[in-house]
């Protein structure tokens, strides 16, 4: 039987699930793959913490360097999260000629080229299937199966917390605060949910998806991102009235002049495939000239789905170790022009609270027109002293849409720009 020693950095939710799989399903994995995956060192924060799977005390260490440097560890799995010390530990392992499997999207988005170069120099794999879609297989399809496809666009729901919240708000009328509290109670959201609700988590995943889809490294600093924290149940109600649902989308697309990557809440037509993705489920929609449209969907978060993806990478890396051959890099990165978000053509939904007086609509339309933005549709509700205007624009440069909004805020008869949500559709 072919044996590979596994070193694990982190034994939290994902790490704990992986330990369970490696211990309880050891025989099944061995029978199916011909591999004896031995868990030899595990870095933990607290020796005294009670664990669902009992491990020999000799396996545990509070110094993660012990895991990386252990001569009996041939493959390192990093699921501790964060940028440091995870980054230096991964580099240390790669430079020592040890393959690394990671689920750390923040680290990859921040230091991807450096880590990939270190893996290539040592001739060992760096695998990260779990870093974007959790249990959804998406990294391998993009980097291998679709390597010859000229992917045009990737649109994804890649954060389970926000998708759960938006589902509760749209389908059950829950307030933003109530939806967040429920997500935290169910374990979908952290005590500090900033990365999820602020769009940072989705932005890191979008950077990785763009890099794989287009063969260039976008970098997290080049990803515009906006979260869902400004949305209200009223936005969900009006979206439904107009035939849309709101989702937090990660978008990477090839445009004239380069590539743009962005994350924001957007209205999707109810007929769009992503509009039906409910709860904590994630989904990634890929468009290309040869493949047409592909949809990958499944559990995007949680210990068990993510550990399943990590285990798949562990098995893949173990096979490559035992093959004894120099590993060709799976990702080739080239330079590419990045299109600033301000130049991207977007459509907006704008909800205005205005004085209900003759000529107000004409004033509003005039401000849009002055900035080169044409109006697709208008819905007005309310009588008496005040009214609500719901406006959907045609496509215009993001900078023009923003300029129009600023002008609207200066109008005396506009009491407030109550909400702005971008509108996405399959066709321009």
How much is the CA Rg of the chain, to the nearest whole Å? 24
Nearest to 231 by CA among 286, 163, 280, 296: 163
* H/E stretch holding 345: strand 345-355
Q: 């990590």: which residue's tokens? A: 310
347 is catalytic: no
Is-cis flag, bond preceding 154, omega within 30?
no
CA 30 – CA 25 distance, rounded (Å): 8
Cα–Cα distances in Å, from 54 out to 8, 13, 20?
15, 15, 10
Residue of 139, 149, 50 whose CA lies nearest to 103: 139
Q: Say if CB 239 and CB 421 are below 8 A apart.
A: yes
For residues 47 and 45, give the distance between their C-alpha atoms in angstroms, rounded to a whole number: 7
Structure tokens at 272: 């769009």
- Catalytically annotated residue among 98, 105, 205, 347: 205
Q: Are 240 and 173 in contact (CB under 8 A)?
A: no
Please check whether residue 421 is in contact with residue 235, taking contact to mean a CB–CB distance below 8 angstroms: yes
Instruction: Report the SS3 class of residue 267.
Output: strand
Phi-psi region of 12 (alpha: psi -120 to 50; beta: other; left: phi over 0): beta
Residues 6+ apart with CB under 8 A from 169: 175, 176, 179, 231, 233, 236
Nearest to 421 by CA among 344, 342, 350, 365: 350
Task: Please tell me the chain's helix, strand, coil percentages from 3-state DSSP, rounded to the nearest 5.
Answer: 40, 25, 30
Location of structure tokens 């624009």: 393
128 burial via Cβ count (<10 Å: 0-12, 13-18, 19+): buried
Q: Which helix (H) or strand (E) holds 40?
A: strand 35-43
Q: Among all residues, which ones are annotated catalytic?
A: 205
């Amino acid at each position: 039987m072919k044996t590979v020693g596994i070193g694990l950095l982190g034994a939290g939710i994902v790490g704990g699930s992986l330990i369970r799989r490696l211990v309880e399903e050891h025989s099944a994995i061995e029978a199916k793959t011909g591999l004896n995956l031995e868990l030899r060192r595990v870095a933990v924060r607290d020796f005294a913490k009670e664990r669902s799977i009992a491990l020999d005390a000799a396996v545990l260490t509070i110094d993660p360097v012990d895991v990386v440097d252990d001569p009996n560890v041939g493959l390192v799995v990093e699921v501790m999260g964060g940028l440091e010390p995870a980054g230096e530990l991964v580099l240390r392992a790669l430079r020592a000629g040890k393959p690394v499997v990671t689920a750390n999207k923040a680290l990859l988005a921040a230091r991807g080229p450096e880590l990939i170069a270190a893996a290539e120099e040592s001739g060992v794999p760096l695998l990260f299937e779990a870093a974007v879609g959790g249990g959804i297989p998406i990294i391998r399809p993009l980097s291998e199966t679709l390597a010859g496809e000229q992917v045009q666009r990737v649109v994804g729901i890649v954060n389970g917390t926000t998708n759960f919240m938006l589902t509760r708000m749209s389908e059950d009328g829950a307030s933003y605060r109530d939806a967040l509290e429920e997500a935290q109670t169910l374990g979908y959201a952290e005590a500090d949910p900033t990365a999820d609700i602020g769009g940072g988590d989705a932005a890191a995943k979008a950077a990785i998806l763009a890099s794989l889809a287009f063969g260039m490294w976008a970098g997290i600093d080049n990803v515009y991102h906006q979260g869902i924290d400004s949305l209200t149940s009223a936005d969900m109600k009006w979206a439904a009235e107009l035939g849309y649902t709101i989702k937090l989308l990660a978008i990477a697309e090839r445009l004239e002049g380069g590539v743009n990557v962005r994350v924001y809440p957007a209205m999707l037509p109810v007929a769009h495939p992503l509009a039906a993705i409910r709860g904590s489920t994630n989904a990634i929609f890929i468009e290309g000239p040869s493949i047409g449209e592909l949809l990958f969907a499944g559990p995007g978060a949680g210990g068990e789905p993510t550990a399943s993806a990590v285990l798949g990478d562990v098995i893949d890396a173990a096979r490559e170790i035992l093959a004894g051959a120099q590993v060709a890099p799976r990702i080739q990165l080239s330079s590419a022009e990045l299109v600033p978000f301000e130049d991207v053509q977007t459509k907006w939904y704008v909800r205005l609270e205005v004085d209900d007086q003759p000529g107000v609509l004409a004033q509003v339309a005039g401000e849009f027109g002055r900035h080169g933005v044409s109006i697709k549709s208008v819905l007005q509700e309310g009588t008496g002293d005040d009214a609500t205007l719901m406006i959907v624009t045609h496509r215009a440069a993001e900078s023009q849409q923003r300029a129009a909004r600023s002008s609207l805020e200066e109008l005396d008869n506009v009491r407030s720009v109550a909400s702005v949500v971008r509108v996405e559709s399959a066709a321009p």
